[in-house]
Amino acid sequence: LLGWALSWYVEIDAAALILALVPGGIAEMAITAKVLGLAVPFVTALQVSRMLCVVLTTGWLYRRFIADAKPKR
């Protein structure tokens, strides 16, 4: 839904944006983009960026919300 909405504001194909933003494997999304004739470098770059954001924020989110919520003994 976000990819479709963004396609109204930027000049990138909605299908490429959807593949770039959907959670899934980087390789699978790149192969799907290639088969569909979409912007493979764009899809791959956004998938890598998404994965990097997840990896860099997961530890902080865990410490901030989960570890602090556990009862202290």
Radius of gyration, CA atoms only, the chain = 16
Predicted structure pTM score: 0.76
DSSP state of 71: P
**Cα 25 to the chain's mean position, in Å?**
9
Question: Model confidence at 5, in pLDDT bands (50, 70, 90)?
Answer: confident
Percentage of residues of the chain with pLDDT beyond 90? 49
